[in-house]
Amino acid sequence: MLGVIQLIAIACGIVLSFFSDELDLATEPWRHGNTGSAADILHWPTDSSRDIVPAACHSHNDYWRPVPLFSALQAGCVSVEADVWVMNNDLYVGHSTSALTPQRTLRELYINPLLRILAQQNPITDFHPTLDQPPQGVFDTDPSQSLVLLIDFKTDGQETWNYVSAQLSPLREHGYLTYFNGTDIIPGPVTVVGTGNTPFNLVIANTTYRDIFFDAPLDKLSGDDNSNNNNNNNNNDDDDDDDDEDNSPYRTASPNAAQNTVTFRSPENVGQGLSGLSDSEIGPDTFDWTNSYFASVSFKKTIGRVWGFRLTEQQVDKIRAQTRAAHRRGLKVRYWGVPSWPRSLRNHLWSILVREGVDILNVDDLKSATRQDWRPKISDWWS
């Protein structure tokens, strides 16, 4: 019987694949603007995001979506991710170098579309002759909601930083970026967060103006006895089937490998939450709201595997401790690499994370995450 049901589910999936995706059809207003006549009473200047309610989810590997950025916005995600590589004097977006193409750049996939969207969200009309301060964000139902652009530095941190900072200039010049002015956070429609090889020393170099924030190492905040071990495992464990924010060709350095001496990690490019730092420089007050936005870590490597489809009491306690530590510093908690299958387990973990105060879910299934209907279903075991 289960085999018959599974065959029916597969057949339905094949049939549905021949029809256009509803999400992508709905992105037309975002991409092309309103083309109706001025007399059309069904439209208004900022109606591209009509009926979209922001949801606390992060579009993991967003560039894989049918329409990068727009599919996530249509679902209501408040955070999107772009992996960037410095090649040929530009920033190309993709999961690996084999996936890069000349057309898929950070400008084309994210910066230019955001400029168009925000221009549409901040119109000058006879009824609204001046721009709002701060400008309105991408969501018409919640104009104060900032969209997080999480940029994963895949190539050398110093070089990539220079390119990213330069390419953010149009958003900066329009006043669209959230920034720290030396004393306060000034919110903007877009909040840029650097992960991967983002160098922390460059994030904090300017003490009076910052508009690129850090993705802090969550397991370093809670005083866990095993935090150093967890990060060492992050750098040496290639068995990560969900994310690669700690996988980089510049990850480690071993000047005396031929003599089989102890390998040490270079502070320059060691992956998420550690680049630009040495272990001795990381203290309880290193990361806070003035320099960081997210506090993130691999779920599997810090919380562990889930046996029996339920978290243990010790695992829940660890989530609570890490969440409290991040919140004390004004940071938002994000776990990547949460098991995605079976769906019943994934939904259960999402419910636990939300219940324990985790601020944003790192997700691949946008529809399920933003719908937030995580009640158990029989189909969750094979779909």
pLDDT tens figures, 352-370: 999 999 999 999 999 999 8
Distance, in Å, from the CA atom of 200 to the CA atom of 275, rounded to the nearest integer, reads 6
pLDDT tens per residue, range 270-310: 999 999 998 888 888 999 999 999 999 999 999 999 998 88
Question: Any idea which residue has 């006895």 for tokens?
Answer: 225
Of residues 25, 33, 103, the one with CA closest to residue 63: 103
**Please, are residues 43 and 350 in contact by the beta-carbon 8 Å criterion?**
no
- Length, in residues, of the chain: 383
Q: Which residues pair with 93 in a beta bridge?
A: 84
0.75 surpassed by pTM: yes
Q: What is the CA radius of gyration of the chain?
A: 22
Domains belonging to the chain, first-starting first, are: 47-381 (3.20.20)
**Tens digit of each residue's pLDDT (9 = 90 or more) over 221-256:** 976 544 444 444 444 333 344 455 544 444 333 333
- CA–CA separation, 254 and 259 (whole Å): 10
Alpha-carbon gap, residue 358 to 148, rounded angstroms: 16
Structure tokens at 205: 């170099």
Q: Where are the beta strands (DSSP E) in the chain?
A: 55-59, 77-87, 90-93, 147-153, 179-180, 185-186, 190-196, 212-217, 292-298, 332-336, 360-363
